[in-house]
Structure 1
């Protein structure tokens, strides 16, 4: 006989007169499930100084008004270890430039200062980035005499977008791994990542690059090695004549406002032209033709055309596709300064059309 304090024992199922009150308790309910997908990051510790076996939430969503799917791992931007390069670029340049524009652009505006800033944007953006860094150095779409090649490249370094070796290396990597994991600035990691946040984490970008050296042609030349070593000096040199000519108000528009404008125009090619627009060619990536970006970036917005024929000096294939970068190159060719200018032939275009039709079937 069980004592008063002992637990009550239920009869076994073989006993016919067992009480219903002694039925065994139901099994515990299964643990609740969630729709959150988790993955284990193998590079988390190396990249963010956190434990390797950490579950990272993966968010899958689409960028607004597009079919671009973002698969982004939540990375701790605010608690990770920031490095000197990241702090220099993000705080020393990006934040400083935008704060100065916010504080002083309105109060110092005048038509003459605006036109000065616009002229410098054309010099650094059209001749420096579009014609030199992109079409001449990155893709070798045409040849220039060395004195003119170096002059245009120097215009590019004045844009605060880095020296030619770094810029060209990142761009060639982008074309080699377009919209894949090793693409330095794909919108598959989010709009803002592709637009500008990618430059705030240099170690992450260098991990994507790996040990590949894709700019040996530039590293062989003393001029580009010199710009690499003195990169932080050259972009600030225009401040001297600007201050002498028009004082602080001219500096605001000739340095800060035009730099912020040039930043975002270039960034739009990396972000918007892989999100919004149309594809004239089936390139197997997210590149788009975007007429508005093309209008603002000297023809760089015909980005799907460019990815279809990346060797081409001409991005606007149709007569109505505004492409000032091509107009400059064509003029240089007419006067004998640009040689070996590459454009897609009709045969190459027809071959691409055939591939497009085959892909649709």
Structure 2
């Protein structure tokens, strides 16, 4: 019952942020805009660095305090708790672009973009019955269990702080515009990057590299690269493939905070290349 209430709270907050975003033009000021950009970077990198590359794929290791800090940044994006987000993503990689993929593009663009959210619990269970069996590594940690039970309320607290600090402009841009833009950029990886773009690697699925989403999604748009080497901490494999998340990970590695950083070697690249003499192999 408690988890069902939290799921309802999340749905309400997602709807509320979309309504807030519509007020953006009426409450614009440069301070609110800069705040939204800063929060977009912090919460967006939280999703890509923490939920995706660190927790879902274990592409590198961080000290526990730093791992939890990045995860908390991701929580403020309103994309789900670490347990739920990582579980869904691992199912996606297990059943990529099949009928068992939670957001399969073979069911259409809008389904893979946002329609799957409506269908998710009817297919995988209700909030009361979901067991998240594929995320035992997270469920055994008290921090992730706590966040799983409370995660929407952290965004409520952020909204209160924003309103207290800058009134409606900060609330509208810091919670509404920022959250909605980030949600749809993330959803676009599920939809656009499995429909439109370039396939560089022979992954046996529909994943694509999309340069625009590579920029907007902190490197996640190099999605064909990711499906070829899902364990890799770096997704922009070419020098010109901008990958903001990788730059942060690389910096953390340079100062000794990120360890066991996984990258594809030449043998792995040759096995995934469409042509062994392909110019895409570095």
- TM-score (ref. length: structure 2): 0.91
Q: Does 1:298 align with 2:239?
A: no
1:133 is matched with 51
Gapped regions of structure 1 (runs ≥ 5): 1-82
Which of these two proteins has the greater Rg computed from alpha carbons? Answer: 1
Query: What SS class does the counterpart of residue 134 from structure 2 fall into?
Result: coil
Q: Which residue of 2 aligns with 1:163?
A: 81
Report the CA distance between 1:87 and its aligned residue.
5.8
Q: Provide the alpha-carbon RMSD of the alignment.
A: 2.0
State the distance in 2 between where 1:312 and 1:138 align. 11
Selected match of 2:39 from 120, 143, 147: 120
Which of the two has greater strand per residue? 1
Whether the 8 Å contact between 2:193 and 2:221 is mirrored in structure 1 is yes
**Distance across 2 between alignment mates of 1:108 and 1:169:** 37
Q: Is the 8 A contact 1:89 1:200 kept in 2?
A: no
* Equivalent pair of 2:104/2:112 in contact (CA under 8 Å): yes
Q: Distance in 1 between matches of 2:201 and 2:169?
A: 46
Runs of 4+ in 1 over 3 A off after TM superposition: 83-90, 209-212
Deviations 1:121-164 (A, max 9, x none): 101001x1010000000000000000000000000101001110
Q: Partner of 1:200 in structure 2? A: 118
Question: How many residues get paired?
Answer: 271
Give the one of 140, 146, 150 matched to 1:220. Answer: 140
Q: Does 1:238 align with 2:127?
A: no
Distance 1:322 1:193 in 2: 28
Residue 25 of structure 1 corresponds to none
Shift of residue 212, structure 1, vs aligned partner: 6.6
The one of 169, 180, 183 aligned to 1:249: 169
Partner of 1:241: helix, strand, or coil?
helix
The correspondence for 2:92, drawn from 174, 185, 198, is 174
Answer 1 or 2: higher relative contact order, Cα 8 Å, separation at least 6.
Answer: 2
Structure with the higher fraction of residues in helix conformation: 2
* Aligned partners of 1:158 and 1:235 also within 8 Å: yes
Work out whether residues 86 and 202 of structure 1, in 8 Å CA contact, stay in contact via their aligned partners in 2. no
TM-score by length of 1: 0.72
